[in-house]
Structure formats: C-alpha cells, structure tokens
Amino acid sequence: MSRRLQVFVSSTYLDLKEERQAAVEAILEAKHIPAGMELFAAGNDSQLEVIKRWIDESDVYMLILGHRYGSIESESGKSYTQVEYEHAVATGKPVFAVVMTDDWRIAKQATVKDPDSLTERENNKELKAFRTLVMGRMCKQPDDRKDIKIAVLQALAGFAHDKRLVGWVRGDADDKRQELEKENAGLKGELAAAQRQNTAPTDYSQSIVSTSDEEWKRLRAALIETPVVINHGIRVITSNGVRPAIETTNALKAMIEHRDYLSRGVPTNAEHDFMQSLINNVSPVLLHHELIEAAPATKKHSHLVLRLSQNGRNFLIWHDLQRLILKPALPPNSR
C-alpha cells in the first residue's frame, strides 16, 4: 500500500519564506504530507503544546536553520525553533536538518530590501550554539533553493524505506472494501429515492459511489475534531460580530468556507498570510484525507498548486446532499 509520511517543517519565518516553500514543494512532489505551525505560534506560549502534538503526530521532523535565532519562548529562554528541535530529538523523532550557509546569506542579502533581516542582531551566542548542536547530527548545507529541494528529496527517499515510520494510508486500502460497497449500495438507493422526488440533481449518486455513507460521516467527524488556524490578515466585521485576524476553527468549516479557493487552486508560492495559512495549517489535514492534491505547475502558476481532489469534490457533494436531502441535525460548527 502507498504510504505517505507526514513531515513537520520548522524554521524561523520571515527570513526563510522561499526556503520553506522549496521544502514544501519537494515534500509534495515526493507525495508526502508537509505540516508546520509557524504562522501563528511564534511568541505565543499557549500554542507550544499544540506544536509539540503536531511534531509527535508527524513521522519526520525537518528543520531549516538560517542565520536568525527567532522569537524567544519565555519559560526556557530558548527560541521556539530550538524548543521544537529539542522536543523532536528528545522524543526520538527522526530528525533531518538543512543549515543555510554563509554563501546563501551573502547571495540573498543582495536580493532583499533589508539585508540585516537575514542576520541575527541580539542572540548571536545562542544562535552559534544552536547551529553547532544541529550540525552535530544529520544535516545538509545548501546554498540555494534548488539544493534544498535535492536535499529534501534525498532525505525522504531514505525515510520512505524505514518500516518503523507509520505514515498514512488511504482508508479504503484494507479488506473492508466489499463491506463498504454494500453500504454504498444502500446510499445509492436513498439518493435514487430522493431524485424521484426531485429533491436533488440526478447525477449526484454517480459522483460518490466509491465511498459509503458511514465513511463520509466518519470523515466529517474527524474534520470537525481537527482544529486549524486561519490568518485572515485583518479583522473583519460580520453579521455575527467582529471576526479576529487570526481565527481558530475546525478543518471542515475551513474547507467549506474556503472551497472556492481550493477549487481554483492555492499556489504554494502565495505570500499573503491568508493563503499561507491555507497552505501550512489547513492543507496538511486535507492532504492526509486526500481531499486536496498537489497539482503540477501550469502556464498561470509556475509553482505547485493545492486544489480539491476528486475525493474532495465528492465529499463536498455528499455534505451538500446531507443538508439538502436528508437534513439531519448536523453539528452547528459543520455548517
């Protein structure tokens, strides 16, 4: 069975946006699942336990270390990036790091508006000690984005053969397929009856025949139970009050509310905070359930785009049918 590893990508943020993007693209190209919490975690102690849980639930921890130490976690006095790294090492998580060289920093300083933003200003001693610690373990030292992709692909090729890593596999890859097909036949009957009453389009049943009603329900419940964070960038006044710039919601609500973006495809090189939160916070959950896919570059988008898969479109059709036909008492946070 095809197994996908979940890779937690850790780094400082503003100075390594392009490098993170290169790593994420390499992970997606290798058909694995990137994960990361950097957009909203820095400087927020309440998120540290969430970060640790994500690391614990991932198969591999990857660090991209530049020449900035990063925001300081108040209890330990260390940077959040170092706290994440030490947690991964302490818990026995497979760790892989890319440590950006001085040549990379010098070359990049010539291309940015603020060259000093790539260099640590306050915690040089701590940064030097951290880099020494990281370079004492498995790591690569790339000079550019291309080298990062090569390093990531090489590392993942090795991890993919490690049978100790659990990874993720599709839920329909086991011996229950015949049982699910029987359940699905019952769902097709319900849909056919609804169609005879002219309460639904006549082609909906054909689009979801591969998954049973119970499987969809379990998937919906899993998405509701999975918290995600959306960074809207600004506060917005809605009919329900003021929506905060950074909003905690669940994966189902995020998928439904932002289905238009996911249908068109979210380019992995998007720089807006909102798009970055879809890429880094929401997409790992949806990729795990194969509700979205990484599509190859097009003339319009020079980088990979994340968009709804056929499974994702089928799930949304099923979810809409539940509301339009059966009208069950759906949980309020799933609408």
pLDDT single digits (tens) 171-199:
555 554 455 456 556 656 666 665 555 44
Each residue's pLDDT tens digit, 107-139: 999 988 888 889 998 999 999 999 999 998 878
Residue 331 pLDDT level (bands cut at 50, 70, 90)? low
**Domains of the chain by start residue, with CATH:** 6-159 (3.40.50.10140), 176-334 (no CATH)
295 - beta bridge partners?
305
Percent of the chain scored above 90 by pLDDT? 28
Nearest CA to 148 out of 42, 62, 82, 69 is that of 62
* pLDDT for the residue 41: 44
Q: How far apart are CA 149 and CA 239, in angstroms?
A: 45
Tell me the average pLDDT of the chain: 80
Q: Which helix (H) or strand (E) holds 162?
A: none
Answer yes or no: are the C-beta atoms of 299 and 242 closer than 8 Å.
no
Q: Which helix (H) or strand (E) holds 150?
A: helix 145-159
**SS3 assignment, position 292:** strand
* pLDDT for the residue 201: 44
**Residue 186 contacts by C-beta under 8 Å, 6 or more apart in sequence?**
213
**SS3 assignment, position 227:** strand
Which pair of tokens denotes residue 230?
């959306």
Q: Is the pTM of this model over 0.75?
A: no
Residue 230 pLDDT level (bands cut at 50, 70, 90)? confident
